[in-house]
């Protein structure tokens, strides 16, 4: 194969006349340029490390401090109060030969450097203490206290200028450990509406016993960890919730993101892939250079805003990352760099280099290379076509197969190629998206395709896999252990916007630019799959296929009204949707259930998520009143009380005062100590029949929802958490649209994604009618024209 020969820098042949050495200048040039690119990246990382390390100061501020100290000494004044003289007395022997004036200058520079580091440390500690203040979150909108106004001004002063992506990491506070008493009290309050009086008394007794005995002992160890570790939750959460799970990660853990709902920028598969892959490279370049804006929240005080930074640690493992299976626990492996992607098409795996002569390939060149793959008529080797099913099935068989069949030879080399790739790409032969005579059903098929595909045409262990469909639609499937959905959504928003608004296509629908005809062809990966390994692949595929077939999915866009109308009613949009989900569940099942809503804790260093138990006494009281025929004024008052309660629960979760992560960590400590807690055991065994999550639109500036309302994504979703429950993901798009992704299982006769979706629609309308009976939705003829045309 030509590409194999090009990969060899030199060859030699032993002959009777001696050794005949043949050098490949092209290969040597590529090796040199690859090394040059690697060293450039190392220098950039070193520079950024210095800038981030001294933040909120800047490297140039050191020179200012030195000059200021020397100038003060020139004025016959000693700003060090004798410390410079002390340093001069203890200079190493090799400096004793210098003149007294030079020794004084050296001592002054050393003192200035120590002073500079002390100032940086002081500023960072001050900023850390300032960022530990969260009372601003609990104040009424538009009624900011004087304390918070002063705090806003101080944060602006100590935050520095032009921060890089990771500049705030050292200044973020550690996540606090709540008091056992407070957590137990909040837990009992959360289960009160879900239990009978006898059940509640039993749980209250267990909780009291735990709080007065074992709880304090476990809490001591947890506080010790909080003092030592950056975050007392995140490492255990990643290991025990994600990596130690032995069931398939497909459907159960991985999640997906969708393309634009109404627009496909080009119907040419290779062209859409060319722009998409190039956009990923652009994002990775910004990520490596830390040129992305720090992830943050924004608050306003007296017409003056300030940025509240969020932890960006999850971004570090976005690319060049894979989850490696193990018999007891998986591991997440990350490599510093990778200059290629792994591509799957019609049962074959390819290695596609994304750089040439130390530069990234242009979109047009990537399109050309992918078209070569699409045109390649070679069949898959035995066992190759469905090899990816190993990553979709149970983890223990995959770990054993990996150790037995992929630890040596050609199989190990090819597997390493996939696992060390920047990310995984599937060129899918299917057409997906909202299309045909039944667009609603086509959206459901689109969601299921992104969630599990054919169960063997995705590599579910990669940090994320990009799917390019035959009609130009795209999507993304992400592994969950390394990061949460908002981090991947940030990447996906950038890719969609860059593809359509920056890179674009020519009149024929192809990528713009020229093609270097000398580019080597993509390299086909080779495999030697034994019959025994093929049997294991078939078994994993059977497990994965049964799981995929059981998933019932429904996706819909709600366009009757959006957050604009909800805000006019002076209600939080998220609280409104959460109450609608609970009302719909009550109408669907005739009961309340333990409800999970994901909240982020990235206000703290290495924070990930916390649970908002959104089914509260207040929400249940509202639903009972509404369904029981109470008066409008009573229901309206109870709805507002339930909304305020939900917002309060959400804010407590964001600020480290949640329930479930604390109890989870106490449970882990109890297992390490070898003690049993009936209270903790029962708490952690409670099923979440309704698991919900909002995916926020973070980079609103990338999309023009006014002039281009058709360029709107449908968001993303995940599989059901409980066998007899629902998984609901929702995205609030602009002012007039909300997207919902509902999942459940066919095997449960009590659940139906379509039926529950209908209940959600009706609940949203009924609640608006209750809040604003005289409101009439303004015309949205222009916004809906695209949908009508379709």
Active-site residue set? 480
Q: Token digits for 515?
A: 């093609």
Q: Tell me, what DSSP letter sits at residue 501?
A: I
Q: Which helix (H) or strand (E) holds 210?
A: helix 197-212
Rounded CA-CA distance 92/103 in Å is 11
Q: CA 84 → CA 75, 99, 106, 372, distances in Å?
A: 15, 16, 9, 69
- Tell which residue, 114, 111, 124, has the closest CA to residue 57: 124
Paired with 308 in beta bridges are: 297
DSSP string, 743-771: EEETT-TT--HHHHHHHHHHHHHHHHHHH
Strands 726-733 and 690-694: parallel
Q: Kindly tell me the sign of the dihedral angle through the C-alpha atoms of 285, 291, 297, 303.
A: negative
Assign residue 76 a region (left: φ > 0; alpha: ψ between -120 and 50; beta: otherwise): left
Torsion of CA 298, 301, 306, 312, to 10 degrees: -40
Specify burial of residue 408 (Cβ count, 10 A radius: 0-12, 13-18, 19+): exposed
Q: Nearest-5° angle of CA 657, CA 168, CA 158?
A: 95
Rounded CA-CA distance 519/365 in Å is 8
478 with 463: CB under 8 angstroms?
yes
Give, rounded to a whole angstrom, the gap between the first and last alpha carbons of the chain.
Answer: 47
Q: Nearest-5° angle of CA 731, CA 555, CA 782?
A: 65
Largest CA distance in the chain: 104
Alpha helices in 58-160 (DSSP H): 59-74, 83-89, 100-131, 146-158
Q: Token digits for 664?
A: 């989870």
475 with 432: CB under 8 angstroms?
yes
């Amino acid at each position: 194969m030509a590409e194999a020969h090009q990969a060899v820098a030199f060859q030699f042949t032993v002959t009777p006349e001696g050794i005949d050495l043949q050098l490949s200048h092209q290969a040597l040039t590529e090796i040199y340029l690859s090394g040059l690119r690697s060293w450039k990246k190392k220098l950039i990382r070193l520079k950024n490390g210095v800038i981030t390390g001294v933040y909120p100061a800047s490297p140039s501020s050191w020179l200012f401090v030195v000059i200021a100290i020397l100038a003060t000494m020139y004025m016959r004044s000693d700003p060090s109060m004798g410390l410079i003289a002390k340093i001069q007395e203890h200079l190493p022997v090799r400096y004793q030969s210098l003149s007294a004036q030079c020794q004084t200058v050296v001592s002054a520079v050393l003192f200035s450097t120590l002073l500079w580091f002390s100032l940086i440390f002081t500023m960072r500690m001050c900023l850390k203490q300032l960022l530990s203040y969260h009372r601003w979150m609990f104040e009424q909108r538009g009624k900011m206290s004087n304390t918070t106004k002063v705090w806003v001004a101080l944060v602006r002063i100590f935050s520095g200028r032009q921060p890089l992506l990771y500049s705030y990491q050292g200044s973020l506070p550690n996540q606090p450990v709540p008091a056992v008493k407070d957590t137990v009290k909040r837990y009992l309050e959360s289960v009160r509406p879900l239990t009978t009086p006898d059940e509640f008394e039993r749980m209250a007794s267990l909780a009291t016993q735990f709080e007065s005995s074992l709880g304090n002992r476990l809490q001591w160890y947890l506080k010790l960890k909080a003092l030592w570790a950056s975050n007392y939750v995140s490492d255990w959460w990643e290991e025990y919730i994600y990596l130690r799970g032995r069931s398939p990660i497909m459907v159960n853990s991985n999640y997906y993101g969708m393309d634009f709902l109404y627009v496909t920028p080009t119907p040419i598969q290779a062209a859409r892939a060319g722009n998409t892959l190039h956009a990923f490279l652009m994002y990775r370049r910004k990520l490596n250079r830390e040129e992305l804006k720090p992830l943050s929240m924004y608050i306003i005080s007296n017409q003056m805003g300030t940025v509240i930074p969020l932890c960006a640690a999850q971004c570090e493992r976005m690319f060049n990352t894979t989850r490696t299976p193990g018999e007891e626990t998986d591991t997440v492996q990350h490599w510093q760099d990778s200059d290629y992607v792994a591509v799957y098409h019609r049962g074959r795996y390819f290695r596609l280099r994304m750089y040439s002569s130390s530069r990234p390939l242009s979109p047009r060149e990537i399109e050309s290379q992918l078209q070569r793959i699409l045109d390649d008529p070679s069949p898959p080797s035995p066992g190759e076509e469905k090899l990816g099913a190993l990553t979709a099935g149970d983890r223990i068989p995959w770990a054993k197969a990996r150790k037995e069949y992929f630890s040596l030879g050609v199989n190990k080399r090819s597997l390493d190629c996939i696992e060390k790739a920047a990310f995984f790409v599937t060129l899918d032969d299917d057409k997906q998206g909202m299309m045909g005579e039944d667009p609603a059903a086509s959206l459901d098929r689109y969601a299921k395709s992104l969630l599990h595909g054919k169960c063997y045409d995705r590599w579910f262990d990669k940090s994320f896999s990009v799917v390019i469909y035959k009609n130009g639609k795209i999507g993304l499937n992400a592994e969950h252990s390394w990061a949460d959905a908002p981090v991947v959504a940030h990447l996906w928003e950038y890719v969609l916007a860059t593809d359509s608004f920056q890179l674009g296509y020519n009149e024929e629908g192809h990528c713009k630019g020229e093609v270097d005809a000398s580019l080597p062809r993509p390299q086909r990966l080779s495999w030697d799959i034994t019959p025994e390994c093929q049997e294991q692949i078939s078994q994993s595929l059977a497990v994965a296929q049964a799981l995929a077939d059981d998933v019932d999915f429904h996706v819909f866009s709600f366009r009757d009204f959006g957050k604009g109308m909800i805000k006019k009613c002076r209600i939080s949009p998220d609280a409104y949707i959460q109450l609608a989900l609970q009302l719909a569940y009550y109408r669907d099942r005739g009961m309340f259930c333990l409800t999970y809503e994901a909240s982020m804790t990235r206000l703290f260093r290495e924070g990930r998520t916390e649970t908002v138990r959104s089914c509260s006494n207040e929400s249940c009281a509202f639903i009972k009143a509404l369904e029981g025929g109470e008066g409008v004024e009573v229901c309206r008052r109870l709805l507002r009380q339930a909304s305020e309660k939900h917002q309060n629960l959400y804010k407590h979760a964001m600020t480290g005062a949640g329930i479930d992560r604390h109890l989870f960590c106490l449970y882990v400590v109890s297992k390490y100590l070898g003690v049993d807690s009936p209270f903790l055991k029962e708490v952690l065994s409670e099923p979440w029949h309704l698991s919900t999550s909002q995916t926020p639109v973070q980079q609103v500036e990338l999309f023009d929802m006014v002039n281009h309302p058709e360029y709107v994504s449908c968001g993303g979703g995940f599989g059901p958490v409980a066998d007899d429950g629902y998984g609901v993901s929702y995205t609030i798009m602009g002012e007039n649209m909300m997207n919902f992704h509902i999942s459940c299982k066919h095997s449960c006769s009590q659940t139906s994604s379509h039926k529950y979706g209908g209940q959600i629609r009706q609940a949203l309308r009924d609640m608006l009618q209750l809040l604003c009976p005289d409101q009439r939705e303004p015309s949205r003829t222009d916004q809906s024209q695209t949908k009508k045309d379709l």
